[in-house]
């Protein structure tokens, strides 16, 4: 469901070419998700990375996420409060976040989010 959410959010991205011939991308429905790149392709990749990081922070802090094309992650992703979830549940959530971000996240990094 997270991958589908990310894909649908990326479809809502808007891009503009800047005066210096670089690109800027935004996802208006996800406040603060903005990226820049020397090419449109670089900007798209950076925007996806920013979106993934934004989602991790929002989930980590228990913030609500915008509903995108009827996908409501607020119902599907628990807020991360370790005392409320079993270790297998927390490990599953961490694994999903690592899958989305494309990198291994240490416990120290997780606590810093």
What's the rounded Cα separation, in Å, for the pair 92 and 97?
9
Q: For the chain, how many structural domains are there in total?
A: 1
| Tens digit of each residue's pLDDT (9 = 90 or more) over 11-39 | 999 999 999 999 999 999 999 999 999 99
Q: At which residue do the structure tokens 């119902």 appear?
A: 75
Residue range of the domain that includes 17: 2-112
**pLDDT mean across residues, the chain:** 82
CA distance 100 to 25: 20
| Structure confidence by residue, pLDDT tens digits, 89-106 | 666 667 767 776 677 776
How far apart are the C-alpha atoms of 55 and 33, rounded to whole Å?
Answer: 10
| Residue 86 belongs to domain with CATH number | 3.30.160.250
Using DSSP's 3-state secondary structure scheme, residue 76 falls into: helix
Q: What is the Cα–Cα distance from 24 to 15, expressed in whole angstroms? A: 6
């Amino acid at each position: 469901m997270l991958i589908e959410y990310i894909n649908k959010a990326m479809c809502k991205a808007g891009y503009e070419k800047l005066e210096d011939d670089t690109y800027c991308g935004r996802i208006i429905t996800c406040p603060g998700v903005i990226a820049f790149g020397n090419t449109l392709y670089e900007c798209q990749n950076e925007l996806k990375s920013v979106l993934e990081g934004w989602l991790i922070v929002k989930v980590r802090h228990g913030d609500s996420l915008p509903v995108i094309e009827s996908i409501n992650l607020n119902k599907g992703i628990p807020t991360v409060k370790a005392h409320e979830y079993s270790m297998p549940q927390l490990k599953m959530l961490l694994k999903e976040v690592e899958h989305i971000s494309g990198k291994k996240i240490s416990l120290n990094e997780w606590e810093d989010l």
